[in-house]
Structure 1
């Protein structure tokens, strides 16, 4: 006779293990310590086996019967139910380990090993942080384009169009990394091109007229502050380097005879060496730019 919920609740432990049968191989094993576990007895490839289904009452009678029917379907297909369960458990564990969060973390670690600039890493981590609340815990292989679009539209709705565009590219980079490491089939962000509003390009103010540029140089020349600051301002107008690259410049980087400034990769944003060909003006600048003589250093 099939079991009832009343029989299951009334099952008390005995001095030794005993079993209550529900039919079709499904049994409730009652242990002396009070534990009650569902098992399904079956034969596969001529061997007697038992499939562990779960612990009662966490797994109720209805769920246990559904598991029994699923196991019977596996047997009908020529598959061992215990092996099917192990494979499903392994797949679930793999999916948990391959979430968007996990892949994003691996990508960041890769960029750190590549010695990317700290500012670049911080910006990347900030962008990923915008996506994590909505898709971070999702297995990377299961995330769809509409899910990503929901993330982008949340940023877009705040009027941050440029950020939304950058975020799409950043999420795409995580997916391409997942594809390269065999944990995703493709990059769904490609389908989102044009799905969000395009930022309006606003050109920054720039001096493009020769007379105006001359006025800038005259204004710098009339600066009454520290001579080093005056030289630095003039150098920036003639070389177009970033302020940080200028502040950290060392004499060893300059070849004054060839008028070349070789900035090493570790000081560049993209971590690639950069050579700046200095103009005639920057090569013949005021004495303040000349390399300090040995006797000058000794006086300091």
Structure 2
């Protein structure tokens, strides 16, 4: 998505290669004054952000518990940012990058999914699981290793094609303090996240990848205290697909037609790709073995 913004978006990286065009240019600008109130609330997302989708006149309005409100025109071409500060606060930019822009991608025809994305040797893997499954910790552990590239730790963007491609998105991995300590991450590369108590953004010491890579597998994480070593096993495709549907990210979850379109898009993207369960013991020393398993899988699917 091509963006022209008068607001600095330091947490977003640009693509080095052209991607499918999603409508016209998106223009982002900051509006002075207090944020307007929504006329009607359409949907409220669960979770720490407390994001709510509403309407104001003919426009959309998204707000959250953090600073910032975002007014979007019906054609998804203009995004107006309301913040308590000028320039917008770090909390406002965090919501914009991690919650608003991924949903705009969906509204413009891409697919985003609640999953982490990691790549090695120019090939990508989606890491899926419910909140607390270990997506961010696994992603941070891999991203800190040579040969691995971070694409996303939360909402991942996928483009249809033969093969489908992962697009790199937000920078950094968001982690709670126990994971920062357990992975022995460099404190200099971990910064406190706005709006959270005890959560940090880890930025690996590696060049940022800006080019998309082919997607090679869906991997569902499953921590298992009875498991002594990590293992990958094929999943029943119907069960895996149902689990993936639950992780789809929509601009307007109250829109049944948008939901059906997203399911159809996911079906086309997942066709022919392995759907695997990664079972592993909940220990921080297991990630080198996980890296070896996933690398082997990526190479097998090349």
TM bucket, shorter chain:
under 0.3
Greater RCO structure (CA 8 Å; 6+ sep): 2
Q: TM-score, normalised to structure 1's length?
A: 0.21
Q: Which structure features the higher share of strand residues? A: 2
Q: Which structure features the higher share of helix residues? A: 1
